[in-house]
A and B are shown apart, each in its own frame.
Chain A
Amino acid sequence: MTTEDIYEKIKPVFSKVLEHNNFELTESTNTNDVDGWGSLTHMIIIEEIEKVFNIKFKLLDLMTMENVGDLVNAIKSSTD
């Protein structure tokens, strides 16, 4: 799966969970940059992404995730 494909698939997950479209997702986007992206919504986003890609993240991946770039890389390595 290409990086672009992944971005295309995760954007609707963010919109659905956060209930708005008022954000851009780039490699360096983090929780500070997006309204409503916090402790609880992060958990729901992770669960939704696991469903969409049919993967299960490891806690080790999640604990070091600092931005959308890290998230996309974790999806990539799980789907490869």
Chain B
Amino acid sequence: MNYIDNLQESIEKHYNKNAFFIDDTFFTYKDLAIEISKIRITINQTLNTSEKLIGLIANDDIKTYAAIIAFWLEGKAYVPINPEHPQDRNETILKSLETNYIFDSTEKASFHGFTLLFPSKTNNENIDIKANSIKENDLAYILFTSGSTGTPKGVPITYNNLNAFIKAINFDGEFKLNSSDRCLQMFELTFDFSVVSYIFPLLEGACIYTVPRHSIKYFYIYKLIKVHQLTVLSLVPSIIHYLRPYFEEIKAPQVRYCSFGGGVLYNDIIQDWNKCIPNSKTFNYYGPTENTIYSSYYKLNKENKTHNGVISIGRPLNEVTYIIIDKNNKEVPIGKSGELALSSNQLTPGYWKNEQKNKASFFFKEYNEESLRFYKTGDLCFRDSENDYIYLGRIDFQVKIRGFRIELSEVEFHAKSKCVKKVNMVAIDILNDLGNAELALAIESEVFDTSEILENMKEKMPDYMIPAHIKFIKELPYNSNGKIDRNQLRTYLK
């Protein structure tokens, strides 16, 4: 069985149940099936079978979610495009796909040379949600993340990858939804945690509650938890940092599952948060987008395994292999830190049209008498004597802001590109008073007007990549290797 057949079965079985709550409106599984069917008509009328990729303007509405499933039933992949991101960036992504098609539920998108798709306007309410034959190596989605050369890099995920992921979570059995669950979906569709937030509820006939893009997310989420008695939460840690001053007012005993991911989770805050959700199983998930959403997790207890107050990322999912390696891709002993490399059926076939990056990030290695293909995560970790993994930080210049991966060099690239003054600039992540990471830009110069630099960055990059602070500094601090001392720089910027 693959997940697409299971999706079809679940939708048919739960016609009268609510599938989505979006912008104060409920939609049933039958509503969803009708929308899917209309989009399939459009696809069949416009695209030939060899067209595999469709750009998807990521709106918060039922048609956009229906489009994802319609594309899958037709054996096609979605490539989410955030309409709030700069047009330039979105065009770069779309052009690299070599597709001619974009689906936009609002029918507003305008990209030169692309055909805009929207649901068929026929009054036909016939439902057709039977899947076409799908090849395992066909793609399910491509997500684009920040790339170090100033262009976003694409991570293609196949049906096979997604199947392997769903199978691993179900095999494990710790996280099992049912049709009476009410589940939070707080993520942008460009972020892969959105996939877990909609796919598991849909597979079980549960209801998904989305969070509007322009809301103050943490308050809106609390409102959903309270008013709609949500039972399943998938969160980035920053949400509970924001809610922390109000923990005493939060009582949500109905919550059954709470999953964290996309950033380090601190033990002290989680101890307090768990008092707000006393009946919940809580998990700390870890996983790069390249290995399809989650790769390992740690289940939280009264006493948790921590390192410097940060909770362990636990053990790999069934059929995921972790190794800790040195610079020569050799395994290091237990307890020694090194780069985490992983291998599994969840692993992407490779970055989209980026041979150079693929050569640097993937390698083959003998493991238990098998030649496995490994991905180098760029994360510095170690394995303890109980086989739990501990995350220590990045080995490169990638950071996470609000759960989004950012290459600092991409920020620096766009900061410098339109600046007439030839000065050194360093992008760096700093922690604000709430313990959330923010982006700062240090400029080695006398003070000057930075409005043009900021303007240019806003034209080229999404809002989470725009530095929240700009500081001028007479001399950047260097360490003995002649590299910029980022730790010292951080203390200057506090």
Which A residues form the contact surface with B (CB < 8 A)? Answer: 30-32, 38-40, 42-43, 58-60, 62-65
25 A-B residue pairings within 8 Å (CB atoms): A30-B214, A31-B214, A31-B215, A38-B216, A39-B217, A39-B218, A39-B242, A39-B402, A40-B434, A40-B436, A40-B438, A40-B468, A42-B216, A43-B242, A43-B434, A58-B249, A59-B219, A59-B250, A60-B249, A62-B219, A62-B246, A63-B219, A63-B223, A63-B226, A64-B223
Q: Give residues of chain B (251-296) contacting chain A, Cβ–Cβ below 8 Å.
A: none
Cβ–Cβ < 8 Å partners of B468 in chain A: 40
Measured CB to CB, the nearest residue on chain A to B242 is A43
CA distance A77 to B432 in the complex (A): 31
CB distance from B155 to the nearest CB of A (A): 26
Task: Tell me the B residues contacting A by CB distance below 8 Å.
Answer: 214-220, 222-223, 226, 242, 246, 249-250, 402, 432, 434, 436, 438, 463, 468
Is B216's CB under 8 angstroms from A59's CB? no
A23 to B159, CA, bound (A): 48
Q: Specify the chain B residue showing the minimal Cβ separation from A43.
A: B242
Instruction: Assess A40 versus B222: contact at CB under 8 Å? Given A32-B214, A59-B246.
Output: no
Inter-chain pairs besides A43-B434, A64-B223, 15 sampled, C-beta below 8 Å? A30-B214, A31-B214, A32-B214, A39-B216, A39-B217, A39-B402, A40-B432, A40-B434, A40-B438, A40-B468, A42-B216, A43-B242, A63-B222, A63-B226, A65-B216
Q: Which residues of B contact A39 (CB under 8 A)?
A: 216-218, 242, 402
Across the two chains, which residue of chain A brings its CB closest to B218? A39
Q: Contacts of A38 on B, CB cut-off 8 Å?
A: 216, 463
Alpha-carbon distance A32/B463, docked complex (angstroms): 14
A44 to B317, alpha carbons, bound, how many Å? 39
Residues of A within 8 A of B217 (CB): 39
Q: Which of B249, B432, B438 contacts A59 (CB 8 A)?
A: B249
